[in-house]
Structure 1
């Protein structure tokens, strides 16, 4: 619920005001030129939240914090907390939109967002990302939507099962077998493109993302996906 969500923020704010947190913050700013001019965490957060500072300047501050959060040293948790607080307005907007989309309950969405945000900060590739806040927030919201879409698709597949294919007594199959059965059916129809179809049509990844994952060009992936879906449509037409 929203109360619990705001309580989480209050907890983070309270932890950022402790003496030990200030000591860690001092260590961070002494070793990072973009942060040295901020005497305490509140001053840094004000600079990140209040308008008037250039986007490039704010982004440099976030880059410095992410670098420390990924360092694994004593100051990494301090930097992670500061990053979560810096992103909080954006995270709150993602939370509200996710609840509106009925992705989950308030508690479920809050838990997912915090977990994904922490993981994104720890794992962000600073060599490939230009805009820290926008990338993290966009990826979190995209992944939440895709997770819900995958769940909806799997639920739809289960609800549309052919009654003749429902196992009889003594043939009960585990729900965990469903992905393997689907994969096997697709392999029989589209061959080696089965994984590509599942990643795009079921798991919700874009063709560009699957191309990168499979080591293919986007053009080749697009052609193979189109060929596979045409084959699937042809097979389905045979049963009509």
Structure 2
């Protein structure tokens, strides 16, 4: 059964207002000093969604919620629900952009956004993150785009199409064996530039990210990528 995006939020809001949730929230408050000033979930969300206020303090609150969400039991579920509601405006923006990019149906996109956000929160390394909301939202959207790019690139490389003309429809792959063969073929054709092309065109990393991995400047990575793509395009054109 399809559930509308706004109905998911309504369900989360409703669940956050019952007595059982309040008890879990009280337990989280006692463990996390940053949450102590808020008597109930509604007050907490109001404080986080208010346009005014100290961004650093809001970030401290989000960090406390992430810490609680990475625990176990009802308190963990309570903290995760509050994080989803706190990040909802950003998640809604990701959902709308994902639909515009045709990353899936409305139900698929909604499910993917929530699942990836939950995964991002559970696995977030608080010791390495400065701004919680920006990091989680950026990672969720980046990963959704990468998966789409990877699937499309696999399909179009396997069919001999131009990677720069990947269509916005379809969702397919060529399997693990086909992907291994594809990697080998690209490496034979492009040599030292193969890893750069595979990382960007197939695995969905940005040229800047791969530049860091390969010890290149972003400008050098961009030039090498463009050169390699021209070579790949020319090679594909020669295939009868």
Distance across 2 between alignment mates of 1:203 and 1:159? 17
1:132 to partner: Cα distance: 0.9
* 1:113–1:236 distance in 2 versus 1, CA, 3 Å: closer
For the residue of structure 2 that corresponds to 1:121, the secondary structure is helix
In the alignment, what sits opposite 2:21? 21
Aligned length: 225
* 1:189–1:25 distance in 2 versus 1, CA, 3 Å: same
1:203 to partner: Cα distance: 1.4
Verify the 8 A CA contact 1:207 1:218 in the aligned structure 2.
no
Alignment RMSD (CA, Å) = 2.9
Distance across 2 between alignment mates of 1:113 and 1:232? 32
Relative to the length of structure 1, the TM-score reads: 0.80
Relative to the length of structure 2, the TM-score reads: 0.80
Equivalent residue runs for 1:50-69 within 5 Å: 50-69=50-69
1:237 to partner: Cα distance: 5.0
In the alignment, what sits opposite 1:164? none
Matched, 1:217 2:224: no
* 1:64–1:232 distance in 2 versus 1, CA, 3 Å: closer
Distance across 2 between alignment mates of 1:146 and 1:235? 21
Distance across 1 between alignment mates of 2:211 and 2:73? 36
* 1:227–1:4 distance in 2 versus 1, CA, 3 Å: closer
* 1:78–1:8 distance in 2 versus 1, CA, 3 Å: same
Matched, 1:80 2:80: yes
- What does the per-residue CA deviation read over 1:133-192, in whole Å, with 9 as the maximum and x for residues that have no partner? 11111221222222222222223224437xxxxxxxxxxxx9423212211212323446
Distance across 2 between alignment mates of 1:233 and 1:202? 16
Name stretches of at least 5 consecutive residues in structure 1 with no aligned partner: 162-173
Verify the 8 A CA contact 1:189 1:231 in the aligned structure 2.
no
Which of 1 and 2 has greater Rg? 1
* 1:211–1:72 distance in 2 versus 1, CA, 3 Å: farther
In the alignment, what sits opposite 1:125? 125
In the alignment, what sits opposite 2:43? 43
For the residue of structure 2 that corresponds to 1:130, the secondary structure is coil
For the residue of structure 2 that corresponds to 1:134, the secondary structure is helix
In the alignment, what sits opposite 1:141? 141
Matched, 1:203 2:220: no
* 1:6–1:229 distance in 2 versus 1, CA, 3 Å: closer
* 1:224–1:102 distance in 2 versus 1, CA, 3 Å: closer
In the alignment, what sits opposite 2:71? 71
In the alignment, what sits opposite 1:106? 106
1:196 to partner: Cα distance: 4.0
In the alignment, what sits opposite 2:170? none
Verify the 8 A CA contact 1:69 1:122 in the aligned structure 2.
yes
Verify the 8 A CA contact 2:91 2:113 in the aligned structure 1.
yes
- What does the per-residue CA deviation read over 1:196-223, in whole Å, with 9 as the maximum and x for residues that have no partner? 43112211212443466x6x5345x986
